Amino acid sequence: MMVEQDDQNIYDEVGAAFGDVYAHQDTEAVVARGRVLRRRRRAVPAVVTACVVAAASGLGLTVVGGPASHPVAGPRVRASVIPINVDDAAFSVHTDPKTGYVTISLFRGDGADELRKVLANAGIASYFYFATVAPLPGKTFCTWIGAKEEDSRSAFVTTEIEAATITIDPSKMPPGSALGFENITFKTAASGPGYSGVAGSGKFVLLSAEPTGCVY
């Protein structure tokens, strides 16, 4: 290969500039160190990739390639309700371990306060109202104080008013909401032999908050 004069002048200048530079190691040592540095540079991308994969695994993520991939649905997050199973002379509360549903039965009105405590300890706010009143025209139920009735179709699984029993899905109860139950006994005029002179009306409701009372 022919070297042009201008190129030769450049080579001479470069050679003169590095003329006083000396290597403290022999050629084989320098080459060996260069190979080590090259292997390190090649290893860096692999280490970074491994760290990313490990981080993704720690977060419970699944990396799937291709546009046809579908995300895997995560587990359903339920409300923080403590499973409870209590049988009392006045009430019972049972949690289904498979579904998380809670079945509540109130046998006597005098057990309502204790039932509220049991449900509160399990993470479910509630309020039970019982009253015996003279009927008012056009009025059937009480008016809740400090709360309003919400749509209960998703949270209430089954209800049995006559048995004062309800099965609820706590995970469907909005934060801060409460289970409400009211039982109104109306005093009426006797209408025949054996008639007790009373009539009743009751219902379960989902309330926006734990009420401070209920008035008829």
- What is the phi/psi pair of residue 215, to 5°? -125, 145
Share of the chain above pLDDT 70, in %: 57
Q: Highest mean pLDDT range out of 40-54, 101-115, 133-147?
A: 101-115
Query: Greater confidence, 18 or 183?
Result: 183
Coil/strand/helix, residue 133: strand
Please give the pLDDT value at position 100.
Answer: 94
Cα–Cα dist 73/131, whole Å? 47
**Distance, CA of 169 to chain centre:** 13
Cα–Cα dist 156/159, whole Å? 7
pLDDT at 197 over 90: no
pLDDT digits 0-9 by tens, 125-141:
999 999 988 888 888 88
* pLDDT band of 162, cuts 50, 70, 90: confident
List the beta bridge partners of residue 87. 92
Domain boundaries, the chain: 24-73, 85-215
* pLDDT band of 116, cuts 50, 70, 90: very high
Cα–Cα dist 164/129, whole Å? 12
Please give the pLDDT value at position 160.
Answer: 92
Please give the pLDDT value at position 48.
Answer: 42
Please give the pLDDT value at position 186.
Answer: 85
Cα–Cα dist 155/166, whole Å? 11
CB neighbours of 151 closer than 8 A, spacing ≥ 6? 206
- 73, containing H or E segment: none
**CB-based burial label for 104 (10 Å; 0-12, 13-18, 19+):** buried
Query: Greater confidence, 167 or 201?
Result: 167
pLDDT, averaged across the chain: 73
- Report the half-sphere exposure of 14 (CA within 13 A, side-chain side): 6
pLDDT digits 0-9 by tens, 3-40:
455 555 544 554 554 455 444 455 455 445 555 545 55
